[in-house]
Amino acid sequence: MNKIIVLLLICFSMSAQASIRQYSATLATSQWDLSDNSRLQCTLTHQIPNYGEAKFYSRASRNMNMEFELDMLRLPDNYALAEVRSEAPKWRPGVNGHTLAKMKLHKQFAPSLPKKVAWTMLSELEQGMSPTFYYNDWYSDTDKIAVGLSTAKFRAAYQEFVSCVGNLLNYNFDDIAYTVLNYQSNSDSLTKASKKRMAMITEYLALDQTLELVLIDAYTDSYGGRWPNQQLSEKRAATIREYFVKSGIDPKRIEAKGYGEKRHIASNNTVLGRGENRRVVIRMEQP
């Protein structure tokens, strides 16, 4: 019996020594900001004093996307799991919290959560709940960490964020990084589909100033004579370059060359094959 009492006292003593370190912004310090607001990316950020920054972001894409990242000042020192819960703030007594997900913590990496959980967290914040992360301290077997997102000053920034997400491009860099444009026969006029593609590339170039170089390579089929075809390919390359420049793209970012009949990709014995060979290839490079 005495042994049981001693064990209970030891357990009570250990639990009493355990503590939870809480990190969250107060009503006065809470700040939500739309740090990225463009047609390429929208980022909603929230500063957590003495801990780091919470980020919700969505990027231009053919598919709706969303991600959450917890950017810690001190990155995880080992692998662990954090429990993500939606907790009621102090001014909502009697409202029960609930678990949203588990978040993997990898050594020296900022942890993140996928689209569904990220949107759920935003929805909980909109309803006045506080998404909170619980995990064990890296250097203590008994201490726990609690990191909460404040609902204060959230709504206005969130409304701006939602508007930004709704205005994102429905394509991204990977969709246009390598583009083949085709021409009408014996002409420097693009086909209808290629004109549409050109408009997409021009819009993206105007928005993304980080692209270092745009390479334009023009080719022809083998009909019409080698020298005239060389001149025609150079004219096509120059026309595309001039189009970009007139649209406000820095000429230093663009290189254009004509290759004439070189580097055929299809047979010149068929109408379809010659149509494939009459092309301009646009390649874009990121830093």
CA distances from 9 to 2, 6, 19, 143, 207 (A): 11, 5, 18, 19, 65
**Structure tokens of 10?**
């030891």
Model confidence at 35: pLDDT above 80: yes
For position 186, what pLDDT does the model report? 63
Report d(CA 146, CA 111) in Å as an integer: 15
What mean pLDDT is predicted for residues 169-185?
88
For position 187, what pLDDT does the model report? 63
- Dihedral of CA 249/253/259/265: which sign? negative
CA distances from 157 to 13, 37, 43 (A): 45, 11, 10
What mean pLDDT is predicted for residues 25-46?
96
pLDDT per residue over 51-72, tens digit each? 999 999 999 999 989 999 999 9
For position 15, what pLDDT does the model report? 42
**Structure tokens of 190?**
């693009």
Report helix angle 155-166 to 115-126, nearest 10.
Answer: 140
Amino acid at 146: A
Q: What is the DSSP letter of 186?
A: T
For position 31, what pLDDT does the model report? 96
For position 185, what pLDDT does the model report? 66
22-31, 90-99, 156-165, 237-246: range with lowest mean pLDDT: 90-99
For position 10, what pLDDT does the model report? 37
**Structure tokens of 31?**
């700040």
Model confidence at 259: pLDDT above 70: yes
For residue 105, the cross-strand partners are 80
Model confidence at 218: pLDDT above 70: yes
Can you give the residue ranges of every domain in the chain?
Answer: 19-166, 173-285
For position 6, what pLDDT does the model report? 39
Residue 142: pLDDT band (50, 70, 90) is confident
pLDDT per residue over 183-214, tens digit each? 776 666 788 888 899 899 999 988 998 888 89
CA distances from 128 to 87, 123, 149 (A): 9, 9, 11
- The radius of gyration of the chain's CA atoms, rounded to the nearest angstrom, is 29
CA distances from 11 to 2, 16, 128 (A): 14, 8, 37
Q: For domain 19-166, which CATH number applies: 2.40.10.10, 3.40.640.10, 3.30.450.20, 2.60.40.2540?
A: 2.60.40.2540
Model confidence at 120: pLDDT above 90: yes
What mean pLDDT is predicted for residues 72-101?
91
Average pLDDT, the chain: 87
For position 273, what pLDDT does the model report? 80
> 170 φ, ψ to 5°?
-95, 25
For position 135, what pLDDT does the model report? 95
For position 68, what pLDDT does the model report? 98
At residue 2, the 3 state secondary structure works out as helix
For position 133, what pLDDT does the model report? 97
Provide DSSP, 219-231: E--S-S-HHHHHH
At residue 43, the 3 state secondary structure works out as strand
Residue-wise burial string across 168-178, b where 16 or more C-beta atoms lie within 10 A, e elsewhere = bbeebbebbee
Spatial strand order in the sheet of 144-148? 20-23, 144-148, 130-136, 80-87, 98-105
The CATH-assigned architecture of domain 173-285 is: 2-Layer Sandwich (3.30)
The percent of residues above 70 in pLDDT, for the chain, comes to: 92
Model confidence at 284: pLDDT above 60: yes
